[in-house]
Every structure is written in C-alpha cells, then in structure tokens.
Amino acid sequence: VSMLSSLKQDLDRHRLYLVYQPQIHLQSGQLIGVEALIRWVDESGQMISPVVFIELAEQSGLIVKLGEWVLRRALYDCAELCRVHPGFRVGVNVSPLQFQQADFVAQVKAALAEQGLEGQHLDLEITESVSMSYAEETVEKFNALRELGITISIDDFGTGFSSLSYLEKLHADCLKIDRSFVDKLTTSASGYRIAQTILTLGQRLNMRVLAEGIETDAQLNELLKLNCDAGQGYLIARPMKLDALNEWIQVYT
Ligand code: G
Ligand code: G
Ligand code: MN
Ligand code: NA
C-alpha cells in the first residue's frame, strides 16, 4: 500500500498523535504555552517524520482533514490542561492549503467553541512563505483571527522572502527565528547577525520574537543578551505526550 493510503487509514483509526513542546519567556523563565507537533508511527512501528507526511498530505489535499484533526485535538487537550492551569495556551501549525481554505476562520472558530475556549488560548503558526502569498485574503484572515483573540506567529522566519511593508500590514504577534539560525548563533558570525537582525526587526514592528531549537546554554545566554523574548528547544524541554507534559509542568512551575 502507498504511504498516502496508510496515512489516510491511520488518521481514521486515530493512530496519529500530538506531542507538545513548552515555550518559555526567556528572561523570567515563565511558561508561555506549548507548540503542538504531530507524530505518526505506522502499522509496522516505524516513526515517519512530519516533514515527509505533511508534504504528502499537502500535495494530496488530505491536509485539510488532517489539519482540522490537529486543531481539534490540540484544543481538546488544551481545555483539559486549562482545568488545572487556567491560562494555558497551545500553538498549532497551519499548513498552506489549510490556511487557504475559504472557511478556515470559521473552522477555527468552531473548534474553539466546541471546547468552550476563547481565542486567547490559541496561537496559530503560519510559515513565512504562506503568509507572504495571497496578500489580501491573508491580511483579512489575520484580522478576523485576531478579533477572536487568537495570536499569530510567523514560523520559520528568515527562511522565506518577506516584504517588510507587507509584514507590517499583517500585524502578526510573533516572529519565530528558524532553528537553522539558532544552530549557528554561537558558531558563525552570519548566524549571529541574522538572529540579531530578526530581533531588531521584531522590536521595530512591535512583534515578539521566539527562538526555536535552543539546544545549548551558550545559545540561551546569547539570546538573553540579545533580549530575545521567548524560546523553545531541547535545552528547555523536548516535545512530550500530554501526560508527560502535565508532569513536566508540575515540576517546572
Ligand atoms: O516535530 P518535527 O521537528 O519533526 O516537525 C517537523 C516539521 O513538521 C516542522 O516544520 C513542523 O512545523 C511540521 N509539523 C509538525 N506538526 C505539524 C502539524 O500539526 N501541522 C503542520 N502543518 N505541520 C506540522
Ligand atoms: O518548523 P517548526 O518550527 O514547526 O518545527 C519545529 C520542529 O523542531 C519540531 O519538529 C520539533 O520536534 C523540532 N525541535 C524542537 N526543538 C528542537 C531542538 O532543540 N533541536 C532540534 N534539532 N529540533 C527541535
Ligand atoms: Mn512550528
Ligand atoms: Na520553524
């Protein structure tokens, strides 16, 4: 059978699951929320990278259904965590085709309502490449989402080709510095300059900046010196299943 048909089947059989990676405010160490990341272990027990199957789902259109499942699952888990941690927030990755659906905002609204959650509990991660295409609809959708109290993060920032005037019009809440730059932060002058430039841009355009993929103390210290707002990465915590996340929060906070 093809990978796509196994993926479809496993989605229907609830064999996909989400893991959650904590995001913290760097200066205070305070927990801000988590990013939901999808995982798939196929029938033969093999873990398949989302880089592979998200792309496949995107090409085939399955991403619309898959993305809706992720959103609903993440908000379901968020509502559960909110019973213990009232201000809890979850970040959900949105793929291009999903975002481009005409009823995307309605879908998000319905998923929130289903859990009785306000938009303040949700952050949507949109990649730089998506947010930069389909200009007018994107601005309108961002506005509608923000009216619901949802925040928007531009994912993989620095890897695409942003128009700065357009970026300003989007009024996103956060720029996520792509992991590739954090990787090079302390080992190459160019990595450092790029991170510094994104941070300056965020400050000027009134956006928070979150660094992803923080793996070492040296990277963390550099980001603190650069006044980076927030971060996530293996140094802080790995992505975890809901139960492990719950325990991690209890120990951490
Ligand atoms: O968790 P990991 O580093 O393996 O994820 C690899 C890539 O897959 C990342 O770019 C991430 O944004 C993407 N990804 C993970 N989960 C989701 C998801 O639920 N939806 C979408 N669209 N992308 C995801
Ligand atoms: O593109 P996006 O930012 O959504 O991808 C996040 C991906 O990065 C996830 O697949 C997650 O598992 C992975 N990730 C998170 N923290 C780290 C880290 O510290 N190092 C590495 N190598 N990957 C990380
Ligand atoms: Mn992401
Ligand atoms: Na990213």
Q: Measured in angstroms, how far is the CA atom of residue 43 from the centroid of ligand 3?
A: 26
Q: Which residue, judged by its Cα, is nearest atom 23 of ligand 2?
A: 213
Stretches in the chain below the pLDDT threshold 70: 131-134
pLDDT at site 1: 72
| Contact predicate 88/57, CB 8 Å | no
Q: Which residue, judged by its Cα, is nearest atom 13 of ligand 2?
A: 213
Helix (H, G, I), strand (E, B) or coil at 184: helix
DSSP structural state of residue 249? H
Which ligand is nearest to the Cα of residue 92, counting in written order?
1
The model's pLDDT over 135-184, given as tens digits with 9 standing for 90+, comes to: 788 999 999 999 999 999 999 998 887 778 888 888 999 999 999 999 99
Contacts of residue 117, defined as CB under 8 A and 6 or more positions apart, other chains included, come to 75, 78, 79, 82
Q: Which domains does the chain have, with CATH numbers?
A: 3-252 (3.20.20.450)
CB-ligand 1 contact for 124 (6 Å cutoff): no
19 burial via Cβ count (<10 Å: 0-12, 13-18, 19+) = middle
Q: Which residue, judged by its Cα, is nearest atom 1 of ligand 2?
A: 156
Tracing tokens 């879908």 back to the chain, one arrives at: 107
Q: Measured in angstroms, how far is the CA atom of residue 182 from the centroid of ligand 2?
A: 11
Q: Which residue, judged by its Cα, is nearest atom 16 of ligand 2?
A: 233
Which ligand is nearest to the Cα of residue 158, counting in written order?
4
pLDDT at site 30: 96
Phi first, then psi: what are they for 11, rounded to 5°?
Answer: -65, -45
pLDDT at site 160: 80
Helices (H) and strands (E) counted in the chain, each on its own, are: 12, 9
Name the nearest CA neighbour of 151 among 28, 10, 35, 12.
35
| Contact predicate 152/146, CB 8 Å | yes
CB-ligand 2 contact for 156 (6 Å cutoff): yes
178 burial via Cβ count (<10 Å: 0-12, 13-18, 19+) = buried
| Contact predicate 199/227, CB 8 Å | yes
Query: pTM to 2 decimals?
Result: 0.96
CB-ligand 1 contact for 37 (6 Å cutoff): yes
Q: Which residue, judged by its Cα, is nearest atom 9 of ligand 2?
A: 37
Best mutation site among 37, 38, 90 for ligand 2, i.e. most ligand atoms within 8 A of its Cβ?
37
CB-ligand 2 contact for 239 (6 Å cutoff): yes
- Could you report how far apart the first and last alpha carbons of the chain are, in Å? 46
Q: Which residue, judged by its Cα, is nearest atom 5 of ligand 1?
A: 50
CB-ligand 1 contact for 7 (6 Å cutoff): no
CA of residue 102 relative to chain centroid, distance: 21
